[in-house]
Amino acid sequence: MKAPIVLLVLLVACLARAEPPAAGWAPGPDQWNADDLEKDEALARIGDIAKGRAVYELCRACHLPSAAGRPDGSFPQLAGQHSTVLIKQMADIRAGRRDNPMMFPFAASLVDPQELADVAAYINSLCIPPAHGRYAGPDAATVVATGKVLYEKQCIGCHGPSGEGNKAKFYPVIAGQHYKYLLRQMVEIRDGRRRNANPEMVARIRHYDDPQLLAIAAYQASLVMPGAMCAVPAEKK
């Protein structure tokens, strides 16, 4: 049986049996990054890039072969993201701490902490595609400038002056991420719809309205993601 057929069979089987865990978990000061045996084991493992490439076959259709994600914000860029963040988010989705019904069947198909470490290692081995979804409205310069002020007021302490995040603290790289994805996540965090959100971030953006969050997302997307940039072949969208 050819590999694509094997993957299709695996995906159909996974979709047939996998359902996101029931709601009921809410973030708190000691819960957003609670102790988790699977996450901790994955973080302690050395990822195998070759094995991670095979695991990533399940991710390619949505996040694209380059892990560039989609500029419309439906799927984030994974290339350039901290391995700790990748592992934490996959573990949270698997455990029901983050609601993502679309990704849950794929995350649930991973068999053990080693596979989490492997796929994170493979994604980290990829270069960063330079093109991503930026805010492109006619008022872009003004919106980005406003976002810079708001970002430096509330976000810089955790995500850093260049949007580089903090690997050890599980703060994601937000520089160069698709702005529509950033905006959607901030709205969900502000409105309490992302249950594994850092309570400190919830408090910091709670009083921002949608135009302010859009400005912050536009500024974050204007920053350059740290890491090795490269051109990638044209991909099927």
Is 213 within the bounds of a domain?
Answer: yes
56-70, 93-107, 115-129, 132-146: range with lowest mean pLDDT: 93-107
For 229, which DSSP code?
B
Is 117 within the bounds of a domain?
Answer: yes
Same domain assignment for residues 7 and 119 = yes
Same domain assignment for residues 10 and 100 = yes
Q: Indicate if the pLDDT at residue 155 is higher than 70.
A: yes
Is 29 within the bounds of a domain?
Answer: yes
Same domain assignment for residues 175 and 199 = yes
User: Which of 100, 125, 150 is the last residue in one of the domains?
Assistant: 125
Is 131 within the bounds of a domain?
Answer: no
Same domain assignment for residues 110 and 151 = no
C-alpha distances in Å from residue 84, one per residue of 40, 42, 77, 142, 216: 10, 9, 15, 34, 24
Same domain assignment for residues 74 and 174 = no
Same domain assignment for residues 84 and 153 = no
Q: Which domain holds residue 104?
A: 3-125
DSSP alpha helices (H): ranges in the chain? 3-17, 37-44, 49-55, 60-63, 83-95, 104-108, 113-125, 140-154, 156-159, 179-190, 199-205, 210-222
Same domain assignment for residues 18 and 95 = yes
Same domain assignment for residues 36 and 107 = yes
If DSSP codes are grouped into helix, strand and coil, which group holds residue 51? helix
pLDDT of residue 2: 44
Q: What is the CATH number of the domain that holds 38?
A: 1.10.760.10
Among 7-11, 32-36, 42-46, which range has the highest average pLDDT?
Answer: 42-46
pLDDT of residue 125: 96
Is 130 within the bounds of a domain?
Answer: no
Same domain assignment for residues 9 and 117 = yes
User: Which of 125, 153, 172 is the last residue in one of the domains?
Assistant: 125
pTM (2 d.p.): 0.87
DSSP string, 128-180: BPS------STTHHHHHHHHHHHHHHHTHHHH-TTS--BTTTTBPP-TTS-HH
Determine the length of the chain: 237
